[in-house]
């Protein structure tokens, strides 16, 4: 997001000794100093079938509205079923699929316009698996896990920092779980992406503004919690001449979100910078769904798209364990942290960190924005 006339729309960046990022699988912090700047490379916001095309300001790309409706249906049904489902996802045909354990729930899912799928393992069994993983190697940075509703398995990740005795311990626990666990190796180390969309600065740091929000009659914005832990007073420039706001609440580890009260006259609209001279209006917030097509905005790499790979992911970062994260195959780089994850006009998450880059691809984790909004009793503007 660009800052014009002291107005912020929604993304930003962070560059300082910020302490870690929620949901990330370990590795050293990816710190960038404020004076290094951010490139803001332009990228196309497009669907998989519409690569290279960009939706006009305030509009969604082809297919996004349909996918958004399917995701909303899937999320609503999964919430309704609660412990009787292992989750929901969007299949390759764009249909909402909800896992079920009995015919009565299957009928309910069909009646709501979604596809029921009998889970191969019970929700209780998968909860036992994740509990075992948590007790066995929650203290090993570079590891994490999430339930895959499409396969009824738990995917366990390790990055390249997990070797020797630690890797042996992870593999030993995974073998005990048998076919209920699938192991995945991430190349390189996962790290925080300390930077973001439109740049916000403070105390030698540069972070990303995620979404402008409102609580009562007061204006705020959301950013990453590891940024809020490090910076109290934010400005729109590295020199500190254009004050933006003050961090009033911050949560990391455990979560990765922070609330910044905006200085009078500095509040921005609820939109996301598309890095083509236009912005996407954000009108609501929702839960992400596996398989959903999403986009991320950040000052280092602009706008990039991909799909949700997992939700409610647990990641053991060097600074502590973070739960409830969104895992995606959307690329990101240092400077994109704190920026917005969205689908159409719907806010989904705040960029936390990941591995890889936007040349070779990678994995990125996001803090669900709905959790931050509930914690702060706020609404997107």
3-state DSSP call for residue 311?
Answer: strand
Active site residue: 21, 44, 251, 337, which one?
337
Percentage helix, strand, coil, to 5, in the chain?
A: 20, 35, 40
Backbone angles phi, psi at 124, to 5 degrees: -65, -40
According to the 3-state scheme, what is the secondary structure of 322-379?
EEEEEEECCCCCCCCCCCEEEECCEEEEEEEEEEEECCCEEEEEEEEHHHHHHHHCCE
Angle at 357 between CA 146 and CA 270, to 5 degrees: 75
Residue 219 CA to residue 60 CA, distance in Å, equals 26
User: Quick one: DSSP state of residue 49?
Assistant: G
Q: Please say if 148 is a catalytic residue.
A: no
Cβ–Cβ under 8 Å, residues 1 and 9: yes
Q: Does residue 256 have an active-site annotation?
A: yes
Residue 64's SS3 state is helix
Catalytic residue among 161, 226, 250, 304: 226
- The per-residue DSSP string of 93-154 comes to TS-EEEEESSHHHHHHHHHTT-EEEE-SS-HHHHHHHHHHHHHHHTTSTTEEEEEETTTTEE
Catalytic residue among 219, 256, 352, 355: 256
Between CA 15 and CA 234 the distance in angstroms is 12
Copy the structure tokens of residue 254. Answer: 């455990």
Verify whether residue 191 is a known catalytic residue: no
Residue 165, class by beta-carbon neighbours within 10 Å (0-12 exposed, 13-18 middle, 19+ buried)? exposed
Return d(Cα 33, Cα 89) in angstroms, integer: 39
Report the catalytic residues: 226, 256, 337
């Amino acid at each position: 997001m660009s800052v014009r006339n002291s107005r912020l729309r929604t993304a930003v960046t962070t560059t300082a000794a910020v302490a870690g990022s929620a949901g990330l699988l370990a590795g050293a912090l990816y710190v960038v100093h404020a004076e290094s700047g951010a490139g803001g490379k332009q990228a196309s916001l497009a669907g998989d079938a519409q690569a290279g095309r960009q939706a006009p300001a305030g509009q969604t790309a082809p297919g996004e509205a349909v996918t958004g409706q399917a995701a909303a249906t899937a999320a609503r049904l999964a919430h309704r079923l609660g412990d009787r489902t292992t989750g929901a996802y969007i299949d390759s045909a764009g249909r909402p699929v909800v896992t079920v354990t009995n015919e009565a729930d299957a009928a309910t899912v069909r009646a709501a316009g979604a596809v029921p799928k009998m889970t191969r393992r019970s929700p209780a069994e998968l909860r036992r698996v994740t509990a075992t993983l948590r007790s066995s190697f929650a203290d090993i940075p570079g590891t994490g896990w999430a339930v895959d509703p499409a396969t009824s398995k738990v995917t366990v990740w390790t990055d390249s920092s997990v070797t020797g005795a630690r890797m042996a311990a992870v593999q030993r626990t995974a073998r005990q779980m048998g076919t209920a666990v699938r192991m995945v190796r991430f190349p390189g180390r996962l790290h925080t992406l300390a930077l973001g969309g439109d740049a916000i600065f403070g105390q030698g740091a540069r972070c990303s503004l995620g979404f402008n929000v409102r609580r009562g009659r007061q204006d705020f914005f959301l950013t990453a919690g590891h940024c809020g832990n490090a910076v109290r007073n934010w400005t729109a420039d590295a020199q500190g001449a254009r004050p933006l706001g003050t961090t009033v609440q911050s949560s990391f580890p455990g979560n990765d979100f922070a609330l910044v009260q905006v200085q009078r006259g500095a509040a921005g609209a609820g939109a996301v910078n598309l890095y083509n001279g236009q912005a996407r209006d954000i009108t609501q917030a929702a839960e992400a769904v596996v398989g959903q097509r999403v986009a991320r905005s950040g000052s280092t790499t602009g706008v990039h798209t991909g799909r949700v790979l997992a939700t409610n992911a647990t990641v053991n970062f060097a600074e502590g364990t973070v739960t409830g994260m969104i895992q995606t195959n959307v690329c990101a780089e240092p400077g994109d942290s704190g920026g917005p994850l969205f689908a159409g006009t719907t806010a989904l998450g705040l960029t936390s960190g990941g591995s890889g880059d936007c040349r070779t691809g990678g994995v990125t984790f996001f803090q669900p924005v709905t959790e931050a909004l509930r914690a702060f009793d706020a609404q997107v503007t």
